[in-house]
Structure 1
Amino acid sequence: MLSKKNLINENLISLRRKKGLTQQRVAQLMGIKNAEKIQRIEHGIISINLEDAFKLACIYEVTLEEIYFAFLESKKNKNK
């Protein structure tokens, strides 16, 4: 089973790709100069903070719950 961090990271990559966006474009939409921060979040080097999660939710047109969906689903399934 993937860790919480890996589940969230994989979900972020999937959401970005579904929107057809590059890391560079997401960085621009978030007001970041380059894609390094997006790369670091998606690869689990740094954790996503609430402010960035909210920005990504707006960019990807999803809810905050959907940003954390994979992790939340794994917790539900584990508790069954």
Structure 2
Amino acid sequence: MLYNISLSSERLKELRLKHGYTMQDIAKKIDLKSHGTYSDIEHGKNILTSINALKLANLYNVSLDYIYGLSNNKNNKNLMNDKELDTILKTGISYNGKTLTSTDIIALKAFLQGLTSSK
């Protein structure tokens, strides 16, 4: 099993209720076609995709490991703001052994913005 489906389902419900959201609210926030699709995820009938898990982790400001039931630590150290991202990308980060160019950095930031624009 890739993740603990039943624990993940419990946590998603707990987080949703804690934040006062309906299933329909969450479906809209993470760009699902219907609240039924989200309901199936929350009830463990559908697999939680990595994209939806990331959107939910960002929405609730918790770690992906917590969402997936792999850790009890809610701390989301992987979230950062735009300024922190700029600092990290400009310090010589590389991919596949090649340093990112200014154009690469702009494209990467645009991609990340597209992933999170629904919030």
TM-score interval, normalised by the smaller of the two chains: 0.7 to 0.9
Q: 1:18-56 deviations in whole A, cap 9, x for unaligned?
A: 111110001111122320111000111111111110011
Coordinate RMSD, CA, aligned: 1.8
Q: Which runs of 4+ in 1 moved over 2 A?
A: 70-73
- Which segments of 5 or more consecutive residues in structure 1 lack a partner in the other structure? 74-80
Corresponding residue of 2:113: none
**Among the aligned pairs, what percent are the same residue?**
35
Q: Specify the alignment match of 1:39 in structure 2.
A: 39
Give me the whole-angstrom Cα distance separating, in 2, the residues matched to 1:52 and 1:17: 18
- Cα offsets for 1:37-80 (capped at 9, x unmatched): 11000111111111110011111122212213x4435xxxxxxx
Q: Is the 8 A contact 1:13 1:42 kept in 2?
A: yes
Q: TM-score, normalised by structure 2?
A: 0.53
SS across alignment from 2:9 = helix
* 1:64 and 2:64 are equivalent in the alignment: yes
Count of aligned positions:
70
Higher helix share: 1
Higher alpha-carbon Rg: 2
More contact order relative to length (CA 8 Å, sep ≥ 6) = 1
